[in-house]
Structure 1
């Protein structure tokens, strides 16, 4: 029977990488939470630009309030370890709707931003998937 041992350097590198990845994901969560909280506030507080934008897409104030609430809850969810993966997946779905709305309004630059946010949120949801899925 042979046993394989790993060099000491390889053993130390793996936990260091995992720690760096964990810290990077945590920083990403905090930045995204701040971004979505700041994006939700104008919708919830009735900023004229947000009111006009939701009027242009054909939804009333109820949808503006709903979107702002979902974004704010998602921002809080990103900061709670057990709900981070679920919150990231939910906000990714919000970004799909935002992309469609931006394209319908003729704002391709904003659509590129929402597509990029969608991709980042999907990566975060995948990385934190064990926070809302049972581990087998």
Structure 2
């Protein structure tokens, strides 16, 4: 059981550093995605900063829970965007959301 939250943090960090980095770098797909959402490119930058920053927060014990909560909230937004605007599948966002729940679950318990 000790390795489950560690594996979840590794997977989340990899996914969000890549996705957030692509947003910040202006990858064509990300620019198009945020154009389709209709909130402007500033929202792409904010989302990228949140993703990369929250992924880093997963590795500091005192910020781990907050980082997971930020990533979870971001994935709720991504699921809503996929269901209402982007289509076709919100499954990747849902999987990442579930991984954030794993981290939240293990972090909410007091250390023994």
- TM-score, structure 1 as length reference: 0.74
Secondary structure of 1:125's partner? helix
* 1:1-136 paired onto structure 2 within 5 Å: 21-109=1-89, 111-130=90-109
- Counterpart of 1:18? none
Flag structure 1 segments of 5+ consecutive residues without an equivalent. Answer: 1-20
Contact 2:8/2:100, CA 8 A, preserved across alignment: no
Question: 1:24, CA displacement in angstroms?
Answer: 2.4
Q: CA RMSD in A?
A: 1.7
Structure 1 outlier segments of 4+, above 6 Å: none
Pick closer, same or farther for the CA change 1:116–1:31 going to 2, 3 Å: closer
Q: Number of residue pairs matched?
A: 111
Which stretches in structure 2 are left out of the alignment for 5+ residues? none
Alpha-carbon distance in structure 2 between the residues aligned to 1:106 and 1:30: 27
